[in-house]
Amino acid sequence: MKVVIAPNAFKNSLPADEVAAAIRQGLLQGGYKGDCVCHPVGDGGDGTGALLNHCLGAEVIAATVADPLGRSITASFGWIAATKTAVIELADASGLRLLDPKEYDPLRATTAGCGQLIKAALDRGAAEILFCIGGSATVDGGSGLLKELGVVFLNEKKEPLQQLPADLVSLRGIDRQHSDPRLNATTFTILCDVKNHLLGAKGAAAVFGPQKGAGPDEVRLLESGLKQLRRITERVTGTDINQLTYSGAAGGVAATCMAFFNAKAVNGIDYFLSRTGFEALLKDAGWVITGEGAIDHQTLEGKAPYGVARMAKRYGIPVIGVAGKVPEEEDTALNEYFDWLLPINEQPLPLEEAIRLTRTNLEKTGRKIASTLNSQLDIP
């Protein structure tokens, strides 16, 4: 009986490919004799680009770009020559993981480096861009990215804003006449793992700003800047970016890419599964194992394990969900998609220790799953 192992990353602990490998190792240690097929997945979050590069056979191209605070770094993008497709991971140039926590500064951090990666891909002749936007250090509404691609943000004196995103509150005009024309001929798809809108209590500043170092006053300033960006963008493009689903993703970068470059934002996990041929792997599968750091009711809002489980259920395949944390009480909605939810920690642990033991506990969980599956197959 074939088991398909398709987990997402366990955030701050293990990338998806290592999670899949640990579960497979545990299954083998537990004496499971069936096929174990690993297909780690991403939903647009940090690491999705690397998985797409692997699945699509992309060449990795290095480029010198700015980090979130403007320092020169080497980042990369995936390149598929046959289709002229570039796979760009926002976090590689503008990610929170590039900063020490004491450097978190969302009033100064920008997506400029990511714009430079896009420009490098266009210079190479990109006809398609796959843009994975999780893990950003920014709440700049994509202004840094747009500036690198020729969009100019102006104050009331029609002078360029100097400090993005802090100066967005002074935004009075946007000049797009010199924006890179190559983007008009490029298919631009943004993979998103959250559906938040740009503004408000569930918006980019309020929800994600504190994760990136913003205190209450900074959240208010960022929100004011994004409101002004919304007003001027609507005047220039005719698009109310706050009404767009996914507009709050990655500090608002999805919003302005949709407005200025006709980019299309999509549910990251559904797109990933389709693009990487996951459905074909389900043929003859007896079980699917998926998971990530936590599986709870929010998982059903479009997270990776939900996407995997939903596709498996179309074929009547039972699904095992593994996570560092699962609901203590039965959740009827989750039970529609997950036949078995397994916490990898046998007892409550401090977060740091749980993270340190993730690989070991995933292997233990794999052995536990193997024991159950073997008993179903009458394997001693």
Residue 311 burial by Cβ neighbours in a 10 Å radius (0-12, 13-18, 19+):
buried
pLDDT-wise least confident of 121-130, 338-347, 368-377: 368-377
The token pair at 299 is 């998982």
Distance CA(77)–CA(58), nearest Å, equals 9
Per-range mean pLDDT, top range of 173-177, 327-331, 376-380: 173-177
Distance CA(150)–CA(210), nearest Å, equals 30
Residue 305 burial by Cβ neighbours in a 10 Å radius (0-12, 13-18, 19+):
buried
Q: What is the pLDDT of residue 168?
A: 98
Q: What is the pLDDT of residue 92?
A: 97
32 in the same domain as 56? no
356 or 97, which is more confident?
97
User: Of the candidates 245, 269, 293, which is a domain's last residue?
Assistant: 269
Q: Is the pTM of this model over 0.85?
A: yes
247 in the same domain as 141? yes
Q: What is the pLDDT of residue 377?
A: 61
59 in the same domain as 153? yes
How confident is the model over 89-109, as pLDDT tens digits?
999 999 999 999 999 999 999
302 in the same domain as 231? no
Residue 115 sits in a domain of what CATH number?
A: 3.90.1510.10
Residue 293 clears pLDDT 80, i.e. is over it: yes
336 in the same domain as 305? yes
Provide the mean pLDDT of the chain. 95
- Contact between 312 and 282 under an 8 Å Cβ cutoff? The reply is yes
348 or 92, which is more confident?
92
Domains of the chain: total: 2
Name the percent of the chain lying above pLDDT 90. 89
User: Of the candidates 214, 248, 269, which is a domain's last residue?
Assistant: 269
227 in the same domain as 108? yes
Residue 380 clears pLDDT 50, i.e. is over it: no
155 in the same domain as 300? no
62 in the same domain as 197? yes
370 in the same domain as 247? no
Read off the pLDDT band of 330 (50, 70, 90).
confident
Residue 368 clears pLDDT 90, i.e. is over it: yes
How confident is the model over 235-262, as pLDDT tens digits?
999 999 999 999 999 999 999 999 999 8
Residue 340 clears pLDDT 60, i.e. is over it: yes
Residue 180 clears pLDDT 60, i.e. is over it: yes
Torsion sign across C-alpha atoms 1, 20, 337, 309: negative
Q: What is the pLDDT of residue 378?
A: 57
Distance CA(35)–CA(65), nearest Å, equals 43
181 in the same domain as 329? no
Distance CA(212)–CA(260), nearest Å, equals 25
Residue 379 clears pLDDT 70, i.e. is over it: no
The Cα angle at residue 159 between residues 154 and 163, in degrees rounded to 5: 70
77 in the same domain as 17? no
Distance CA(134)–CA(292), nearest Å, equals 15
How confident is the model over 109-166, as pLDDT tens digits?
999 999 999 999 999 999 999 999 999 999 999 999 999 999 999 999 999 999 999 9
Mean pLDDT within 276-304: 94
Name the percent of the chain lying above pLDDT 70. 99
Residue 318 sits in a domain of what CATH number?
A: 3.40.50.10350
* Domain encompassing residue 35: 2-40+277-376
Mean pLDDT within 6-11: 95
123 in the same domain as 252? yes
User: Of the candidates 251, 269, 287, which is a domain's last residue?
Assistant: 269
Mean pLDDT within 65-76: 98
Using DSSP, state whether 36 is helix, strand or coil: strand
